[in-house]
Amino acid sequence: MVDWQYSESIESPDIVSIKKKYSNYIGGKFVEPKSKKYINTISPSTEELLSKVPLSNEQDINSAVKSAKVGLEVWSKLTPNQRSRYLFKIARLIQERSREFAVLESLDGGKPIKESRDFDLPQVAANFFYFAGWADKLDLSWATKSLKPYGVVGQIIPWNFPLLMLAWKIAPALATGNTVVLKPAETTPLTALLFAEICEQAGLPPGVVNIITGDGSTGSLIVNHKDINKIAFTGSTQVGKLIQKSLAGRDVGLTLELGGKAANIVYEDAAIDQAVEGVVNGIFFNQGHVCCAGSRLLLQESIHDQFVKKLEKRMQSLRVGNPLDKNTDIGAINSKEQLDKITSLVNEGVEDGGELFQTQCELPGNGFWFRPSLFTNVQPSYSIAREEIFGPVLTTLTFRTPEEAVEIANNTEYGLSAGVWTEKGSKILWTADRLDAGVVWANTFNKFDPSSPFGGYKESGFGREGGRHGLLSYLKASS
């Protein structure tokens, strides 16, 4: 018997040159912030300072919005075919520089290189290719309606999939003829700023894409700017509600993609080993920083013990550590703030009476880390069964019948996604029909495609991203 340890296999960070300090990208130029203020962005896996980015103020937002209006003059006069060609060019450039983007995404955000390389970047390129294809076919998209773009769109994106969320926002907005002011998240601004270089390389007309960095106050300035015609936000439900309040009574479009607490329902007649894999992927993908994560495992009572045993064994083989190691499955928690939130919810779960299993792995000394965790013996009333933890923490509930499974699954304020596991096709359809969720995965989880619309019900938000439906989020009926 040997204890075979894998040697380190580090993706070299040398491919990326990170500047000491970044500027906003406004009107096709990198512009120092008028605020003269900067915020630090660190690597969550080492806590080392990576760079400084602008903390933009009202003047900065004003000039970004102004530039987007100028950009709109040019962008709207291009033929759809010309707009399409720019988007195709961006997609190809992203593919060419994908290794660079992947490394930077893992450095700045903490996600394993395996995921940024094999999931995030291919998806980013795919989204630009997909919407590039739509740009000159909009007349075919909604034949009965006469539609036009909103104009200047403000886009605020989260830190869990920084570049992918940028692609979800920018690609459909540009394809439909809008121009954008985008703000990446405070903790993960670097890939968005590298994307600004792609816009330059593609020769995109100045002002079509404007990228400004900052914190929550910057986001709020964008939301409240008088010349913004539409806001697209992905983030927490709490902030989503504030945005909706700010926009009430104003003629500004809004789409919100917010939190989730997805049920992943495993029936006794599921292919158990594959269901275990799906449940692991559902909650531990991207450290559980996924709004559609399968964070509530609903197990049929008859298979509970067997399933939990297999799940714990599988969790034990997850490799936690350096995001740039190609063999890392779980990287760093994105920020100290998020780590504190996860820790406090887990402690509350234990106090409530939940039984906690955590994998026994060595964690690096510096940086923000959390062991893959599984709660059993949880009651639906516990906060770990109701609140979005947004971390590598799975909560197990049990059910007796399909009716009960659906009832528990829908017993939440959220409605973003859900999973169903059974080898019986009719049971999949019966269950999916009754789940209040924007996406229902059957015998799989966390699968995405640019052609498939994504979005929520209830407090998970409204509007759809991706697919033909995603176009409609950036078009309005013309008067």
Partner 1 sequence: MGNIKTSDLSMQWSNVLEMVYESRIDSVGLNERVNSLATRSIKKDSKLEALNMIVTMCDLTTLEGEDTEGKISQMVAKAIKPNPLDTSVPSVAAVCVYPSLVAIAKEKVQNSNVKVAAVSSYFPSGQVPMESKLLDTKYAIDSGADEIDIVINRKAFLEGDYRKVYDEIVALKEVCQDVHLKTILEVGDLKTYENIRKASLISLAAGSDFIKTSTGKLSIGSSRQACYVMLKSVLDFESMTGVKAGIKVAGGIRDAKDAIRYLVMINEEMGSDWLNPELFRFGASSLLDDVLKQIKKLKTGAYQAGYYFPRG
Active-site residue list: 257, 291
Of 30 and 357, nearer to partner 1 (C-beta) is 357
Q: How far apart are CA 284 and CA 286, in angstroms?
A: 6
Sequence-separated (6 or more) residues with CB below 8 Å from residue 53: 21, 22, 38, 39, 41, 189, 190, 193, 213
Amino acid (one-letter) located at 269: D
Q: How far apart are CA 164 and CA 158, in angstroms?
A: 10
Residue ranges in contact with partner 1 by CB under 8 A? 1-9, 114, 118, 269-275, 277-278, 309, 317, 326-327, 423, 443-444
- Tell me how far apart the terminal alpha carbons of the chain are, to the nearest angstrom: 75
Tokens 């920020």, residue located? 335
Sequence-separated (6 or more) residues with CB below 8 Å from residue 351: none
Structure tokens at 350: 């234990």
Of 158 and 282, nearer to partner 1 (C-beta) is 282
- Residue 266's DSSP bridge partners are 299, 421
Contact criterion met (CB below 8 Å) for 390 and 288: yes
CB of 392 to partner 1, least distance (A): 17
Contact criterion met (CB below 8 Å) for 479 and 434: no
CB of 382 to partner 1, least distance (A): 30
CB of 325 to partner 1, least distance (A): 8
Of 319 and 341, nearer to partner 1 (C-beta) is 319
DSSP string, 158-174: -SSSHHHHHHHHHHHHH
Contact criterion met (CB below 8 Å) for 20 and 44: no
Of 95 and 443, nearer to partner 1 (C-beta) is 443
- Residue 183's DSSP bridge partners are 156
Tokens 């399968």, residue located? 294
Give the chain's largest Cα–Cα span: 75
How many Cβ atoms sit within 10 Å of the Cβ of residue 138? 18
The H-or-E segment that residue 201 falls in is helix 190-201
CB of 445 to partner 1, least distance (A): 10
Of 98 and 237, nearer to partner 1 (C-beta) is 98
Q: CA 199, 200, 205: angle at the middle one, nearest 5?
A: 80
Question: How distant is the alpha carbon of residue 124 from its chain centre?
Answer: 12
CB of 146 to partner 1, least distance (A): 42
Of 281 and 343, nearer to partner 1 (C-beta) is 281
CB of 284 to partner 1, least distance (A): 12
Of 31 and 270, nearer to partner 1 (C-beta) is 270
CB of 275 to partner 1, least distance (A): 8
